[in-house]
Amino acid sequence: MFNEIKGLNEECGVFGVFGASQASQLTYFGLHTLQHRGQEGAGIVSSDGMRLYQHRDRGLLADVFSNPADLTRLVGKAAIGHVRYGTSGSNSIANVQPFLFHFYDGDIALAHNGNLTNAKSLKRRLEKNGAVFQSNSDTEILIHLIRQKQDCDFITALKQSLTEVKGGFAFLLLQKDRLIAALDPNGFRPLVIGKLNEAYIVASETCALDVIGAQFVRDVMPGELIIIDKDGLKIDCFTKDTQLAVCSMEYVYFARPDSIIHGVTVHNARKQMGRLLAKEHPTQKADMVIGVPNSSLSAASGYAEAAGLPYEMGLIKSQYIARTFIQPTQELRERGVKMKLSAVRGVVEGKSIVIVDDSIVRGTTSKQIVKLLRDAGAVEVHMRIASPPFKYPCFYGIDVSTRSELLAANHSVEEMCRVIGADSLEFLSIESLIKAISIPNANKYPNGGLTVAYFDGQYPTPLYDYEADYLKSLQQQTLRKEQC
C-alpha cells in the first residue's frame, strides 16, 4: 500500500561471480564495498557445479560472516550475494537474500535490487493458483511465475516472467552451472559487468569491481538478459520495449562517488551539481562553504569552486553510526543526527556559512544541522541543496516517505526555510540536475535518460498497484492546501 512507504532509504546491492576460485570470498569483498546500499541483512549463495550452498542473516555483512567458517563453507567457482534494505517485506530472516529454492529439477538462488509495482496483484493471482510464499518480499514472485510455466525451458520461462513483473528490478539468479542477470526495461537501478582474468562479475556499482581488481566491461542495458556459463558470456534480451530512465537519486545520493554509472563518474556529476547550484543561487558575503558528510562533499566542493569561496571542513561525521534515516521513529532519527554529526567550532564560529546538502526529505537532518552550526557560533547559515525539491514518492526501489511526510510536498521553499531555521534555502533546478549528470548518448530519451519523477511527479511507467493510493494522496494534499 502507498501509505506503507516509510522513508528515504537505500535500495539493495547485488554482486555475482562466475568462474573464479574462492568465488564466495570475492563476493564478500564486493558486498562490503556495496554495504552503503543496505544494512539490514546480507547473504551469499555459492555453487560448486553440483549443488548450491547458502549463508544469510540479518545485520551488517561483517556481523553475518563474523565466523570465518560460514564463508569457508560456501565452496565453488560461482556465487551471488546481496545486502539488503527492505523496500518491501519486513526485516526478518525470511526476507534476507539471496533466496535459495530447492526443486526436483535443480536448485535456484535469487537476489533482487529494486521494487515491483505490481507485486500485490501478482501475488494475489499466484496464491489463487496454489503458490505458497515463504517470505513477504516481492522478490519471491519471480520464482513462482517461472515455475508456473512448466511447458517451457528455463530461459524461455524466465523471459516470459520478466515481462510480467513491473517496476524497478536488477535480478541475479544462480543455478549450479550458470549465472543469470536481468535489468528492468527502464534500467532504474544500475547494474554492471566486469571481468577478472577468465571470471565474469556482475555488480550494482563499479566500485565493487574496483575492490577486487576486476576490469569494467559494460553496463547492463534496459531489458537485457545476461547469461554466463562455461561457454562465456551471452547477451540476450527479454523485451525490446525499453526506455532508459536511470534513477537520478543514484547520482545525487545513493551511489558511491567513485562509481561510474552509464559513463558518468558519480563524483563528477555531484561536483557539477554544486557548480550549477552556485550559478543559480549564489550567496552574498558568505565566508565559506561546507558540505554535509559524506554524500554532499563533492557538490559542496563544486559550489565553493564556482562561487570563489573557501571550502572548509565545518562538520565531522562519526564513522561508527549507521545512516540516521534508518531509525524507525522521529525521536530516534533526531538523536541519531546528533550522534552522527558534530560542528567544528574553530571553523564556523563567527562566520557566515553556506552549507551544501544533497536533498531534503522530512527536514529532520537539515533542521538539526542548522542548529548544530548555530550552537557552534555560526552567524548565518545559508542552506543550498544540490537537487530539486523532493515532492513525490519513488516506487522503483527507494523507500520514500508518503507524500504527507515529504517537506517539499507540503511547504513552499520559504516555509521550508523557516521550518529548518536557516537564513536562506535554495534548490538546484531539474534542468540543471539533468545537465550536471549528462549521460552520454542519452539525448534521445526523456530527461536525458534519467528518472526525475521525485521532483516533477511525471513517472516514466504506470504505477500499477500504487496508482489508486497515489492519486488519493494527491487529492488529499490538494484539499489540505485549499483548507489552509
Give catalytic residue positions: 12
Beta-carbon neighbour count of residue 161 at 10 Å?
23
Give the whole-angstrom CA distance, residue 191 versus residue 199. 17
Using DSSP's 3-state secondary structure scheme, residue 451 falls into strand
User: Residue 400 corresponds to which cell in the numbers above?
Assistant: 520514500
Asked whether the CA dihedral 173, 61, 23, 70 is positive or negative, the reply is: negative
Asked whether the CA dihedral 278, 281, 287, 288 is positive or negative, the reply is: negative
CB 397 within 8 A of CB 87: yes
CB 113 within 8 A of CB 11: yes
Name the one residue in this structure whose C-alpha cell is 561508527: 320
Asked whether the CA dihedral 382, 384, 388, 392 is positive or negative, the reply is: negative
Which residue type does 317 have?
A: K
Q: Which helix H or strand E contains 272, and what residues bound it?
A: helix 266-280
DSSP track, 312-362: ---EEE-TTS--GGGSSSHHHHHHHHHHHEEE-HHHHTT-EEEEEES--SS
What residues have CB less than 8 Å from 154, skipping those under 6 apart? 146, 175
> Is residue 448 left, alpha or beta, with left meaning phi > 0 and alpha meaning psi from -120 to 50?
left
DSSP track, 87-136: SSS-SSGGG-SSEEE--TT--EEEEEEEEETTHHHHHHHHHHTT---SSS
Give the whole-angstrom CA distance, residue 147 versus residue 114. 21
> Is residue 83 left, alpha or beta, with left meaning phi > 0 and alpha meaning psi from -120 to 50?
beta
Using DSSP's 3-state secondary structure scheme, residue 385 falls into strand
**What distance separates the 2 farthest-apart alpha carbons in the chain?**
74
What are the residues facing 179 on neighbouring strands?
A: 174, 228
By residue count, the chain amounts to: 484
**CA 355 from chain center: how many Å?**
24
